[in-house]
Structure 1
Amino acid sequence: MSTTSRSLTSLHTMQTTESQIVLILVGLIGSGKSTFAQALEQQLPHFRRCNQDDLAGDRRRVEVLARESLRAGLSVCIDRTNFDPRQRATWINMAYEFPGTQVWILVFDTPYEVCAQRLQERINHPTIKTPEHGRSVLERFHSQYQAPSPYEGYSRLLSLRPSDHPSPVYTYDDISGILQRIQDAPSPASTPATGPKGRGHHTRGYRGHQTRGHGDYRGCRGSGSRFGRSSHNPLYGSDRPGFERHGTSSGSRENFNNSRSDSDSWRS
């Protein structure tokens, strides 16, 4: 059986599984998050895209949409920068409200210069009106960015570079292949932190969909997936100074429980 056939078979299996995913996108503005998220929702309707720019820049409205979607049995894709542990904790903690829900992180590891060029050419953005404004926001995010740490409590992580998907269009096969790579990624507990320049990232398993958000854990962690494994380890560690690494995956949930901030108005 071809890789594509295996991917499609596995995707169908995941779509009909009684389980859900909170997929958290992480990356600078202009890194390609929304392009992916829009294609994901179009190709796989059991994923609901939750984008802050489309909701008047109000993170609390994103929370409402994500929680309502999970209650309806959908998986959700959090399409915003999520550039530090405090921001990501909002969605990780939300996933814990729905037993059996997996938390996946997809990092768009796009070079700063590429993001800046895209912002220069961007038009009709709902919140960033000029290239100068975009560059200012980009610089701010870049200086504040903290790569995901396994202690944050997510299930799996994949880092996606522009060279991994050079086309601006995502097909059904492209989306299913990326989800398969996330599913195949090692769990955070089994992979040591590595990687230069603080551009790295980490993870733990995928889940498909059915009309429910509760029940026993039924994820694919440790199961044999059929989406086609990536040829390299997609996990990269964070060497960002000042990021506290302590506790365990379960302990991290306590560390971040009270870390939500109503002031994180930046997104995209």
Structure 2
Amino acid sequence: MVDYAQEWDTDSLLRLIHDMSSCATAPVLILLLARSAGMWWQMLVSRVFRNFDMVPEALRLEPLVSRPSDRAPLFSEAVRQFAAALEVPVAPLACPPSGLQDNSAYDQVLTLHMSALAHVLAAVQDSTAPDDPDKLSAYLLARECDHWARLHERGLLRADPNAMAQIMYIAALTGPLSHADGTAALEAAPVELWEHPGRLVKDHSVCYAPSRPDSVLEPLYPDRLNEDFLALMAPGHDCAFPADP
């Protein structure tokens, strides 16, 4: 299975298909996940047919539910699972968002899950989760900032929330890097804190453990949260999230 297949170059995908098909002792299904089936797909289909005499098939990923009325059970199950993971009683949790039935944004399972998580977290804090799906990222990211502040106050981070937000902005743009490249990135885009880049990299790793032992500057996941963080950090929006000029 290849994730973000549209970001791979065609030769690499062809080499993968060749390696998988030439050494297989049983039928192999190669699944390419992509956001769109554009020109990259047309080029790949043509070359796969020419090189391997195979005809790849494009399958559109449909919404998880076919009717708006099916969203509520999915939301309730997501709430139950998040509550269990966070050891929160399910009983006091708020009702589903008012637009769950009518807003097409909830056709996306990620939006539905983000809303369920926000409702569980709101129950923990005795606050109210946003009804508007467009405000979910700002709500969840505000909790990230609060987490940085608490670690800073306890002396576990040298970087304050302002500096951590700037480090996260750089991480969102670069993705995971080697230690040398990560510190070089922080030097090239100076963070507003008189700390050595190596110290800032370590602070970042306290909050976001690297996916590989030899990398630093792990971005936020899922990707949508990372993308929304970039947008919210940039001035010009009216969301309740502080931009950074």
TM over 0.5: no
Q: Which has the higher strand share?
A: 1
Q: Which has the higher helix share?
A: 2
Under TM normalisation by the shorter chain, which class is it? under 0.3
- TM-score where L is the length of structure 2: 0.24
**Larger-Rg structure:** 2
